[in-house]
Structure 1
Amino acid sequence: MRVLVIGSGAREHALVWKLAQSPRISKIYAAPGNPGMLPYAERVPLGVSQLHELATFVENKQIDFTVVGPEAPLIDGIVDLFRQRGLAVFGPVKAGAALEGSKAFAKELMTKAGIPTAGHQTFNDYKQARAYLESHGAPIVVKADGNAAGKGAIVALDSETAHEALKQMMVERAFGAAGDIVVLEDYLQGDEIGATAICNGTDFLPLALSQDHKRALDNDQGLNTGGMGVFTPLPFVDAAQSEQIYKQIVDATLHAMKNDGIDFTGVLYSNIMLTARGPMVIEHNTRFGDPETQAFMLLLKADVLNILEFGHGKTIDPQTLWHPGSAVSLTLASGGYPGRYNSGIPITGVEEANKLDNVHVFHAGTAMKDDQLVTAGGRVLSVVARGTSLQEAVDRAYEAASYISFEGMHYRKDIAHRGLDAVSKQ
């Protein structure tokens, strides 16, 4: 079986690495891929926005199955195009990807279906939005409606921050057309977690709950990032609450989509706040999370191809999915990230880190220059470790990170601190 993975980050590297372990796969391509994928996949010089060229490549190479990593091609309709050309592809159609591509659409759907989420108002007029901000006050969350590469949601704890965020989106157009419409949302308090499920239109396969660390600095300080690290599973969420999350949010969302005439297939990855009123949706994503996927792939025992094919009708036993224990991912970032940073800085120690037991280093933003691995992004590497306990996984991840070095490298020292606190109280 021939497989294509579309994307170039650590999420896609993790998927390629795990797919390469499937006895059913004979060849993997990655478009455009990254240097870390080279032992497992042939890189293809096609970008994620070249939808027609990607479809033609799949036809010419007689590729049996395509896995789409990032959200942008899904929102642009790559699944619709592939299906029109009779090509098997994992992911939702454009109408389904609107659940991530339009915050206003997602909010309307959840409100109509009674899915628990924060109160909100949607605006396409700056003056009206500003007037609402003045009457509502802070704290509040300001969200660009469209796809802003994970940077379009600003949690404003004071009115000045809220007004500045609104101005950047609607007047200065910091996110382009994504900010033509904004959603102003009530601020939720609690623990933020992620719920990931593989969906086939009517049913879903629940994967593990996880918790990302979005702030750049320890103790949840600093600016929001694409994710500085994840741990899974969550010791502070019991089986009853997990079932509630998947029933009231994931299952309810699938049914709401179906009622709108959309058979949602692929990944539904929901950001959820555990509030005093119960779990509430912050936002939905329609693809695998990053850095969640890296931790999932290391903890996964089953053949990932079988899991992806659940979205195409394959049956799988959830009890056979996972290795026992926990997995932790740790993001190694460029100096200055999530602000301005330099690229082309030599990286050392990745091979040494990869030699540790139950550890793998996935490439997020790297390149090769004169046979030397160098930085090529804000998030550079994702160091992932598995352990029989959460503490063992944490210790192993930080040990692996100690082998790696590049000028300006920084990472959080407190990944999984909420989980470790919960374990210590059990």
Structure 2
Amino acid sequence: MAERVLVIGSGGREHALAWKLAQSPHVQQVLVAPGNAGTANSGKISNSAVSVNNHSILAQYCKDHNVGLVVVGPEVPLAAGIVDDLTAAGVTCFGPSAKAAQLEASKSFSKSFMDRHNIPTARWSSFTDPQDACKYIQDAEFPALVVKASGLAAGKGVVVARDKDEALKAVLDIMKDKAFGSAGETVVVEEQLEGEEVSCLCFSDGITVSPMPPAQDHKRLLDGDQGPNTGGMGAYCPTPQVSEEVLQEIKRSVLQKTVDGMREEGTPYMGVLYAGVMLTKQGPKVLEFNCRFGDPECQVLMPLLKSDLYEVLKNTLQADLSSSPVQWLENSAAVTVVMASGGYPASYKKGLEITGLSQVSEMGIQVFHAGTALKEGGGVITSGGRVLTVTAVRPTLESALCSANEGVAVISFPDAVYRRDIGHHLTNTNLLTLEDIAEHYTYFMHLNGDVY
């Protein structure tokens, strides 16, 4: 019997998950709470107004509406224990427990965990006293220039400083001026790594890890990696510059080690594990963990997933990943381009009309909605910072980028901001070794997470 599935969240990631789940013959209906204009009355997909913050009300709603599976998109509800509470109420929920989600929710916990289990990462220390943190920055024998609020800060809690003075200022901003509120009561100061960053995600059933194709997102607002950091302005998948040998090393030394370590410590990790990895001359090193799909990485991974997503999630929950390998499209590449509101990631206008959406769907391009809402009387308007993610799947990275940009050109809303160069630096690049990558690309920024 086909089931009803509830997806928690309102971004492009959640639209992509709902879109993929709706393709399963096992799924009768996909509800999205709170959702957006793209998930409102679209075939099997519709929005729900149920409260996602009150877990007891949510559990009762799931029982009343025969919801057979809840899929949690963002990190905040995971850290708040939504999986624990729904599971205790008898509602099947996909995602890690609150204790397991500490890998993302506490950077101090995450770094200590990596040290305990010999998982490669940058040299670091954590502090609750700003004077101690400043002394560490001044005295370190390496560039201790990355300052992180330990708690969840909606992807904005990391400062990659250009020099010691900027790092010292970041400590004071976070700890004394409370730039990120209580998330900055503890800070992590760490070594600045040199290399190229990739997003390495996997499904984990607590024992087995099933890696997804590696992706790379683009954090800077403008072409050429210029402008402020954002929640992500686009992504591509797979990453042709990363060899199979390097991917196997990441699976062994990072993903499997993490899942084994969590199980050994009595906190099995079930869900999606996302490692932001820097490819250095010394090998892959973890920048940080996320405990859910990335956004916009999810918008390139879901279109490349050949397997039935509902079946994959069920197998993961039943600790049965090893018996049914997850299948991905071969000889295909996906590119997604984010269209954001003018002014993002700072203040921006809402309520601006969006045109061209119907034309894009006729071009074989998928648009995943994020900050959108339905307009009274018809039409779609902007309602957030990142508004749309325009995704194309084609045989090559070059053709996917070209198609995604063609799709963006058809869509219009006032003062839209987007990049034209997602994956562009790789479209003519051959397979590279770790040494080549570290020599050719020096990417210092490594904010992961979402800025809305």
Alignment TM class, shorter chain as reference = over 0.9
Offset of residue 138 of structure 1:
4.8
SS at match of 2:271: strand
Call closer, same or farther: CA 1:168–1:51 in 2, change over 3 Å. farther
Deviation, 1:42, is: 2.5
The aligned counterpart of 1:53 is 57
Paired with 2:340 and 2:176, the residues of 1 have a C-alpha distance of 31
Q: Deviations over 1:274-318 (max 9, x none)?
A: 001000000000001100001111112221111212322344644
- 1:292 aligned residue: 297
**Unmatched segments (≥5 aa) in structure 1:** none
In structure 2, what is the Cα distance between the partners aligned to 1:257 and 1:325? Answer: 34
275 and 48 in structure 1: CA distance in 2 versus 1, 3 angstrom threshold: farther
Q: Secondary structure at the match of 2:277?
A: strand
Q: Is the 1:139–1:155 Cα contact (8 Å) retained in structure 2?
A: no
Q: Please name the residue that 1:260 is paired with.
A: 265
Q: Is 1:194 the equivalent of 2:199?
A: yes
**How far has the Cα of 1:417 moved from its partner?**
2.1
| 1:417 to 2:424 alignment | yes
2:224 alignment partner, SS class: helix
Write out aligned runs for 1:262-341 (5 A): 262-312=267-317, 313-315=319-321, 317-318=324-325, 320-341=327-348
Residue 366, structure 1, aligned to residue 368, structure 2: no
What SS does structure 2 have at the residue aligned with 1:296? Answer: helix
Matched, 1:156 2:161: yes
Q: TM-score if structure 2 supplies the norm length?
A: 0.91
2:23 partner SS:
coil
Equivalent in the alignment of 2:238: 233
51-60 vs 331-340, greater mean Cα deviation: 51-60
Partner of 1:134: 138
Q: Which has the higher contact order (CA 8 A, sep 6+)?
A: 2
CA distance in 2, matches of 1:361, 1:238: 30
Asked if 1:115 corresponds to 2:122, the answer is no
The C-alpha deviation readout for 1:342-371, integer Å capped at 9, x for no partner, is: 1111111111112112x1001110112322
Say which of 11, 18, 21 aligns to 2:20. 18
Does residue 397 in structure 1 map to residue 401 in structure 2?
Answer: no
In 1, Cα distance between the equivalents of 2:117 and 2:144?
A: 26
- SS of the aligned residue for 2:20 comes to helix
What is the CA-CA distance between 1:160 and the residue it aligns to? 3.1
1:71 aligns with 2:36: no
Deviates more, 1:225-234 or 1:43-52: 43-52
Name the counterpart of 2:437.
Answer: none
Tell me which residue corresponds to 1:383.
390
What amino acid does structure 2 have at the position aligned with 1:125? D
Q: Which residue of 2 aligns with 1:347?
A: 354
How many Å apart are 1:250 and its aligned residue? 0.1
The answer (yes or no) to whether the contact 1:210–1:292 under 8 Å persists in 2 is yes
Q: Is the 8 A contact 2:50 2:61 kept in 1?
A: no
Contact 1:306 1:314 in 2 (8 A): no
Query: Aligned AA for 1:219?
Result: G
AA partner of residue 244 (structure 2): A
Moved more, 178-187 or 332-341: 332-341
Q: Which stretch of structure 1 is more off in the superposition, 148-157 or 311-320? A: 311-320
Instruction: Tell me how far apart the structure 1 counterparts of residues 143 and 210 of structure 2 sit (CA, whole Å).
Output: 38
Give CA-to-partner distance per residue, 1:138-160, whole Å, 9 cap, x none.
56111000011111111111223
Structure 2 residue matching 1:94: 3-state secondary structure = coil
How far apart in 2 are the matches of 1:125 and 1:335? Answer: 38
Q: Distance in 2 between matches of 1:404 and 1:390?
A: 22
Q: Which amino acid aligns with 1:150?
A: G
CA contact (8 A) 1:28 1:42 kept: yes
Q: Partners in 2 of 1:302 and 1:50 — Cα distance?
A: 33
Shift of 1:92: 0.4
| RMSD of aligned Cα (Å) | 1.6
Partners of 2:401 and 2:150 lie apart in 1 by 36
Report whether the alignment pairs 1:89 with 2:96: no
**Does the CA contact (< 8 Å) of 2:242 and 2:432 recur in 1?**
no
Q: Is the 8 A contact 2:51 2:57 kept in 1?
A: no
- Aligned partner of residue 16 in structure 1, secondary structure: helix
C-alpha separation between the residues in 1 aligned to 2:426 and 2:253?
24
User: Deviation at 1:46?
Assistant: 3.0
Q: Deviations over 1:394-413 (max 9, x none)?
A: 11100100001111101111
Decide which moves more: 87-96 or 334-343. Answer: 334-343
Q: In the alignment, is the contact (CA less than 8 A) between 1:208 and 1:233 conserved in 2?
A: yes
Shift of 1:372: 2.9
2:31 to 29, 32, 48: 29
Q: Report the alpha carbon displacement of residue 101 of structure 1 after superposing the two structures with TM.
A: 0.3
**Paired amino acid for 2:369:** H
Matched to 1:158, the amino acid is D
Matches of 2:324 and 2:394 in 1, distance apart? 23
Q: Aligned AA for 1:414?
A: D
Helix, strand or coil at the partner of 1:111: helix
Within the candidate set 124, 127, 152, 2:128 is matched to 124
Task: Specify the alignment match of 1:208 in structure 2.
Answer: 213
